[in-house]
Amino acid sequence: MLGECQQQEARFMDCLEAYGLDRGRKKCTDLFEDYHECQTKTKQFKRFMAMRKERDRQIAEGKLKGDEKYVSPKVDSY
Amino acid sequence: MSEACQIARKQDLPPPGGYKPIPYKRLPAKQLFSGYTIFAGYIGMTVGAIYLYNLTAKQIKKHEIEMRSAKMAIYPMLLAERDREYLKQIRRNRDAEAELMRDVPGWEVGTYYGERVYKLIPPDTLVEPIFHEYYAHSSPSDWYRRAYIKLRS
């Protein structure tokens, strides 16, 4: 659990080491974004927010009702 | 003076026969058992207790070993079952997401409005969901129940 982002970090640091800090800032943005995403999980959270908002909107509008409203996982599966 | 002798007044006198003697001698405590008796009683009780304990101790130890062995034996299977259910659920989540966001402009399943979550990995790799994503399509009560279990265990 503590080593989730090791791979992303290693790649980013290798890139920075190769290019130095100034050029590296421009060249390694993709690697940096992957690393940042792994550490903070912002995009995944934003995805969740968008999906949840859409689901609530559809429920309020009446498109989803009854048993189709939610798809719940089993409690001990995560 | 003659009146004082005729009227009988109440006086605070000692009881008839005098007072009983005051006990002043030391009264030591009553000795129920002597010292050696107490030691002998203690050892006797310990021996008796050890005997009674050993009547069922072996059985209990065997029982404990059995339970522990059984738990250790089925533990991998339970983990495997949990992983299976996890994988099934993320597939269901993907299908639910596809159906939910069908009419939303710009949304592709597995991305955030077209922007992939991790840019530099091959597109088919499994990106493990975070807790919120895993429970994104669940009813709030199930979500809170799971979060409560996590918080309190």
Q: What's the confidence (pLDDT) of residue B1?
A: 55
Q: What's the confidence (pLDDT) of residue B3?
A: 59
On whether the CB atoms of residues A8 and A38 are closer than 8 A, the answer is: yes
The encoded tokens of residue B38 equal 């107490």
Across chain A, which has 78 residues, the per-10-residue mean pLDDT values are 86 94 91 93 93 91 78 80
On whether the CB atoms of residues A70 and B139 are closer than 8 A, the answer is: yes
With tokens 């605070």, the residue in question is B12
Q: What's the confidence (pLDDT) of residue B8?
A: 81
For CA atoms B83, B87, B89, B93, the dihedral sign is: positive
Taking CB atoms and an 8 Å limit, are B82 and A77 in contact across chains?
yes
Q: Which residues of chain B have pLDDT under 70?
A: 1-6
Taking CB atoms and an 8 Å limit, are B89 and A73 in contact across chains?
yes
Candidates A11, A48, A61: best to mutate against B (most CBs of B within 10 A) is: A48
pLDDT single digits (tens) B37-61: 999 999 999 999 999 999 999 999 9
Taking CB atoms and an 8 Å limit, are B118 and A74 in contact across chains?
no
B33 to B30, B42, B48: CA distances (angstroms): 9, 12, 20
Q: What's the confidence (pLDDT) of residue A47?
A: 93
Look up the pTM and report it. Answer: 0.72
Helix (H, G, I), strand (E, B), or coil: what is residue B115? strand
DSSP character at residue B146: H
Q: How far apart are CA B77 and CA B85, in angstroms?
A: 12
